[in-house]
Chains A and B, each alone.
Chain A
Amino acid sequence: MNLVRNHVLISIDAGTIMAGARAVEKALVEEINKQGLSGEIAVLETGSIGATGQGVVIVVYPEGIYYANVTPADAAELVEEHLLKGRPVKRLIMTEMPKQHVIKKEKTGLLREQPRIVLRNSGVINPENIDEYIAEGGYEALEKAFTDLKPAGVTKEVKDSGLMGRGGAAFTTAMKWEFAARAPGDVKYIICNADEGEPGTFKDRLILEGDPHKLIEGMILAGYAVGATKGFVYIRGEYALSIERLEKAITQARLYGLLGDDILESGFSFDIAVMKGAGAYVCGEETALIESLEGKRGHPRNKPPYPVTEGLWAKPTVVNNVETLANVPEIVRNGAAWYRGYGTDKCPGTKVYTIIGNVATPGLIEAEMGTTLRDIIYEYAGGIKDGKKFKGALVGGAAGAFMGPEMLDAKMDFVNLKEYAAVLGSGAILVMDEDADIVGMLQSVLHFFRHESCGHCVPCRLGTNQLAEIIDRIAEGKGKTEDVDKLVSISEVMRDTSFCPLGQSPVLPITSSLRFFRDEVYSRVQ
């Protein structure tokens, strides 16, 4: 057996692939072979390590040195200098070494070190190799569930953990499972909602790219708890790499007897199919998703009945977000009490954020529930870019709310933010510096809603159109003060009468922008 001296981890995710990661990988391997180091240096693919916008990122272990913006032309120097002679290439080392990249698997009490539960393996293991997942404790939860916990025990563990849906609505996960478990019927389904469409959100993609088996294990556990034998992952068609890795992972899991009939001789059978969505935002709404999965137009259904009693093909169906399900194996494996050691009383655990906009180090982070917005921006994301002042952030995507400087110290969790009339939503944080144009921001948000309205109901179809036209008028300097009132009143009617959460959403960005940036908005109208 070869003793490997150095591991070179190359981050292969959708972003780094576009930056040329495959070419860099090829150049590195060729160079290593040329230098005769193939026996002692291993180049491994891994998922996103969390940094975005920094080109191709690689990490060299055991030193733990991060290189950014690596090109194929750098391969020779990296191999020659670092891997052969042991001299790190200074000019490529990540200068703004974000705190988020200090990966700790266990809680240390230090804020600057992220407690990683969901992202535990992301950027560490090779997502295309099931053995690496298993080596990190993967599928242990499954064994525990089958031997000790049994279905009710799994649900109890998840219930005790206080896990809430991470898709944005924050519904108690175990409650959904219990409803579906209790619903009459032999055929039940688990659907993983991977139709991540909230602008600025890409956490689910990076979870899937970085650790697909975690989702698979979570879905099997959910299926076991609920009594479902079939799972579907409804995933955005654009997520090519996620789909590829997920499908590979499913094949591997089947080969290992972790999916299919009589899993681990437990008597429980479960399998997963991957279904691609066509990119409609509304299909992230669970009933529209189900319609789409059934091959119909993605229109929301009337509720009740809820999917837990009448979902896919009118069978009891649990729809859970990727991040929600990715929490489940860790909860089951480590126990609810362990999980409750993270986060707040009302919202235990962590939240995965995608932080973008005018910050020094945008990317993917995982933070405890209850972490302040200030810490997320300044501790994890390196603060505002170019030393500028913080103006505000749009938290939760287009369907989220603006938060101004006075909310920097608000503790971010589902319950607490409600008191501030804000939401955690999908976990997208779009940070604006002092130069940001709030009317321009609203313009893009409201155009987004107009574009994504499914057209089913009057308030959303025609309301989003009026909102977009009014904000355009204001942006062009032709707006009047009544126009601002109209924005509010239309969005309130939409909140009250829209058929699904899509049309109910624009009221949040509109009213929150007026709350923090009232003067600026009014300065733009006559």
Chain B
Amino acid sequence: MSMVKLTINNIPVEVPEGTTILWAAKKAGFTIPTLCHHPDLTPGGQCGICVVEIEGIPGLKRSCMTPAADGFKVKTHTPRVMATRRQLVELILSNHDTECLTCVKNNNCELQKLAATVGINTLDYGNALKEKLPIDRSSVAIVRDPNKCILCGRCIEVCSRVQTVNALAVNHRGFDTVITTAFNAGLGNSVCINCGQCVVHCPVGALYEKSAVDEVWDAIHDPDKFVVVQEAPAVRVQLGEEFDMPTGSLVSGKMHAALRRLGFDAVLETNFTADLTILEEGTELIGRLTSGKNLPLITSCSPGWIKFMETFFHDMIPHMSTAKSPQQMFGALAKTYYAEAKGIDPAKIVSVSVMPCTAKKFECLRPEMNASGHRDVDYVLTTRELGRMMREAGLDIREMPDEPADDLLGDYTGAATIFGATGGVMEAAVRSAYRLVTGRELEDVEIKPVRGLKGIKEAEIDIDGTKVKVAVAHSCGQARALLDKVRDQIAKDGKSEYQFIEVMACPGGCVGGGGQSWGSNIAKRARRGESLYEEDRSLPWRRSHENPSVQALYEKYLEKPNSEKAHKLLHTHYYKRSTVDGKVLPNK
């Protein structure tokens, strides 16, 4: 790769050709203030905050989208540049609902930080607020407040280009510009898949989860209720960031302790049902490989992906695994198996989950998710909401002891914990499928080709001479590319080259979910994923079928994977959805 040499504020720096001035400056030790820029997204150049002066070039240049060139003499904080930045921030503030103290993003807002960074202490421009627009609460997962929106375009970029969902777009123009959904009908009446990538990419408080914090507090404080909580794998490598711990800190035990201290009556594990998912889905895979029907089998753990598939790829429904996601398996068992074993009236159980995900809020409300005879999961909290509850209760994750989860639905294996990273479900499934087919254990349990953040990962697994071609996609954009290919192959050859496909809706898998802390980026997602693999290595069991509590569950309650009872409680079905409003289409 050819390099270019330039100076940033007289400091020489050499960077690969094509590097933007913003990154070249970073290399030279200067962090140029930005607002609309996000390291994972194509810059749109909306805000102009990152402008710099380049000697010999008239005007100011946006450093986020100007490539460094040989001989550039860049100045990042001349009087002209600094005055311009201040004026631009003032212009943004002239049009921003600055009710910071009551904003969900207070203390986490990039605009708030920027105003402090560039030193805004007076506002010279008249307040130019638009007439208050209604807050979009139509979605069960995501709230959209157009009054806070600064039109940076990140949400559209991630929704359209990364996820290829296209739920959001710019409407109207000039001063009246708003970002909204088709027909301004609201996210809940759109193709939005609730993945929440818009939420984690929003620099301000314009997009946030529909909070269940108050409802959960009420349940905890209600003496008649027995409140159980489950936590997804990706939460334990992220919760620490809510309390300024290094990215990816593994806090499984501290998390259990904190939940207990918040007042949950039983602290259980989504990881338990992740193991269960593997046995159900693995058995399903073997059934399909044997019959040769409906291959490839496609995983179904990610509710954002499920709605995406139902909307844009509903011809793939026969290929989908019918296994519920671990969250919903847990919900169905909590109010049946667990309630019976503990002698609790299931009507009094409030089932709460902590998820790295906003789509889980949608999933738990799907009408069919009531196998227990009750709502299987009552409330979903995102990792952020758990952080909020802990702070309110005066709990700091760093000060928590390490505690185990409670019994019956609390044990988990390494195979379960890697569910949180892209490729993890695939790897876990292979570890158990090998045993199910051959009766022997897979010696080297680490399937490296399906790990990491490459867009689409492929591998060929040899199960005693049977070759199984697998593929892993993370982000709906990658899933779309992969599924387009599968669709073409099936149309052309009657079958696909793949037998098993894992899809996660979010980039990086659940560690990059829409319910994780603000300020997510690829580097953080990668780091969190690595921590999950570290936990995997540290656990006594690394194969789902080794989980003693799962074995007990089958022995005492479900008989065997894919049994009739297992089907009733742990499996589900899918719907065709409209590409206009995401609503379920009538069956033809």
The interface of chain A, by Cβ under 8 A from chain B, is 280, 282, 297, 299, 302, 450-459, 461-466, 469, 486, 489-490, 493, 495-499
Partner among B51, B80, B124, B174 whose Cβ is within 8 Å of the Cβ of A453: B174
**What is the distance, in angstroms, from B202's C-beta to the closest C-beta of chain A?**
16
Partner among B46, B125, B174 whose Cβ is within 8 Å of the Cβ of A458: B46
Interface of A is mostly: helix
Q: What are the 9 tightest A-B residue pairs by CB atom distance, in nearest-first order?
A: A455-B177, A453-B174, A497-B48, A462-B91, A496-B60, A465-B175, A493-B87, A455-B173, A455-B174
- Given A297-B169, A457-B47, A496-B60, 12 more contacts at CB 8 Å? A297-B170, A453-B175, A454-B174, A456-B44, A456-B46, A456-B170, A459-B91, A462-B92, A462-B94, A463-B91, A465-B174, A465-B175
Evaluate whether A499 and B45 lie within 8 angstroms (CB atoms) in the complex, with A280-B173, A464-B175 already known: yes
Q: Assess the A455–B45 pair: CB atoms within 8 A.
A: no
Q: In the bound complex, how far is the Cα of B173 from the Cα of A497, in angstroms?
A: 19
Q: In the bound complex, how far is the Cα of B65 from the Cα of A299, in angstroms?
A: 16
**What is the distance, in angstroms, from B510's C-beta to the closest C-beta of chain A?**
33
Partner among A282, A458, A464, A469 whose Cβ is within 8 Å of the Cβ of B47: A458
Q: Which A residues touch B150, using CB under 8 A?
A: 458
Evaluate whether A496 and B45 lie within 8 angstroms (CB atoms) in the complex, with A455-B172, A461-B174 already known: no
Number of interface residues of B (CB under 8 A): 33
Q: Which A residues touch B176, using CB under 8 A?
A: 455
Evaluate whether A465 and B95 lie within 8 angstroms (CB atoms) in the complex, with A455-B173, A457-B46 already known: yes
Q: Assess the B95–A489 pair: CB atoms within 8 A.
A: no
Q: Assess the A302–B128 pair: CB atoms within 8 A.
A: no
Q: In the bound complex, how far is the Cα of B124 from the Cα of A324, in angstroms?
A: 44
Chain A minimum-CB-distance residue to B128: A465
Partner among B43, B46, B174 whose Cβ is within 8 Å of the Cβ of A450: B174
Q: Which A residues touch B169, using CB under 8 A?
A: 297
Evaluate whether A495 and B59 lie within 8 angstroms (CB atoms) in the complex, with A297-B170, A465-B128, A466-B125 already known: yes
Q: In the bound complex, how far is the Cα of B64 from the Cα of A497, in angstroms?
A: 13
Q: Assess the B151–A455 pair: CB atoms within 8 A.
A: yes
Q: Assess the A461–B59 pair: CB atoms within 8 A.
A: no
Chain B minimum-CB-distance residue to A457: B46
> Counting CB contacts under 8 A, is B539 at the interface?
no
Q: In the bound complex, how far is the Cα of B173 from the Cα of A353, in angstroms?
A: 30
Q: B339-361 CB contact bits vs A (8 Å, 1 = yes)?
A: 00000000000000000000000
Chain B minimum-CB-distance residue to A463: B91
**What is the distance, in angstroms, from A277's C-beta to the closest C-beta of chain B?**
14
Q: In the bound complex, how far is the Cα of B43 from the Cα of A462, in angstroms?
A: 20
Q: Which B residues touch A456, using CB under 8 A?
A: 44-46, 170, 177
> Counting CB contacts under 8 A, is B126 at the interface?
yes
**What is the distance, in angstroms, from A439's C-beta to the closest C-beta of chain B?**
18
> Counting CB contacts under 8 A, is B88 at the interface?
yes
Partner among A280, A299, A489 whose Cβ is within 8 Å of the Cβ of B87: A489
Q: B43-85 CB contact bits vs A (8 Å, 1 = yes)?
A: 1111110010000000110100100000000000000100010
Q: Assess the A493–B151 pair: CB atoms within 8 A.
A: no
Q: Assess the A458–B175 pair: CB atoms within 8 A.
A: no
Chain B minimum-CB-distance residue to A489: B87
Q: Assess the A496–B46 pair: CB atoms within 8 A.
A: no
**Which interface residue of A451, A452, A456 has the most chain B CB atoms within 10 A?**
A456
Q: Assess the A496–B175 pair: CB atoms within 8 A.
A: no
Chain A minimum-CB-distance residue to B80: A496
User: Which positions 106-131 of chain B face chain A at CB distance < 8 Å?
Assistant: 124-126, 128
Q: Which A residues touch B44, using CB under 8 A?
A: 456
Partner among A486, A489, A497 whose Cβ is within 8 Å of the Cβ of B51: A497
Partner among A453, A462, A496 whose Cβ is within 8 Å of the Cβ of B173: A453
Q: Which A residues touch B94, using CB under 8 A?
A: 462, 466
Partner among B80, B84, B124 whose Cβ is within 8 Å of the Cβ of A486: B124
Q: Which A residues touch B125, using CB under 8 A?
A: 466, 486
Q: Return 12 A-B CB contacts under 8 Å, by A number.
A: A450-B174, A452-B174, A458-B46, A458-B92, A462-B175, A464-B174, A464-B175, A466-B128, A490-B87, A493-B91, A496-B51, A497-B48
Q: Which B residues touch A453, using CB under 8 A?
A: 173-175
**Which interface residue of A280, A282, A499 has the most chain B CB atoms within 10 A?**
A499
Q: Which B residues touch A451, using CB under 8 A?
A: 174
Q: In the bound complex, how far is the Cα of B84 from the Cα of A461, in angstroms?
A: 16
**What is the distance, in angstroms, from B68's C-beta to the closest C-beta of chain A?**
14
Q: Which B residues touch A469, using CB under 8 A?
A: 126, 128
Q: Which A residues touch B43, using CB under 8 A?
A: 302
Q: Assess the B88–A459 pair: CB atoms within 8 A.
A: yes
**Which interface residue of B126, B174, B176 has the most chain A CB atoms within 10 A?**
B174
Q: In the bound complex, how far is the Cα of B50 from the Cα of A487, in angstroms?
A: 23
Q: In the bound complex, how far is the Cα of B128 from the Cα of A490, in angstroms?
A: 15
Q: Which B residues touch A466, using CB under 8 A?
A: 91, 94, 125-126, 128
Q: In the bound complex, how far is the Cα of B172 from the Cα of A457, in angstroms?
A: 14
Q: In the bound complex, how far is the Cα of B87 from the Cα of A180, in angstroms?
A: 39
Q: Assess the A497–B84 pair: CB atoms within 8 A.
A: yes
Chain A minimum-CB-distance residue to B176: A455
**What is the distance, in angstroms, from B206's C-beta to the closest C-beta of chain A?**
15
Q: Assess the A455–B95 pair: CB atoms within 8 A.
A: no
Evaluate whether A302 and B65 lie within 8 angstroms (CB atoms) in the complex, with A493-B84, A493-B87, A497-B88 already known: yes
Partner among B48, B59, B60, B170 whose Cβ is within 8 Å of the Cβ of A457: B48
Q: In the bound complex, how far is the Cα of B88 from the Cα of A176, in angstroms?
A: 34
Q: Assess the B91–A458 pair: CB atoms within 8 A.
A: yes
Q: Assess the A458–B177 pair: CB atoms within 8 A.
A: no
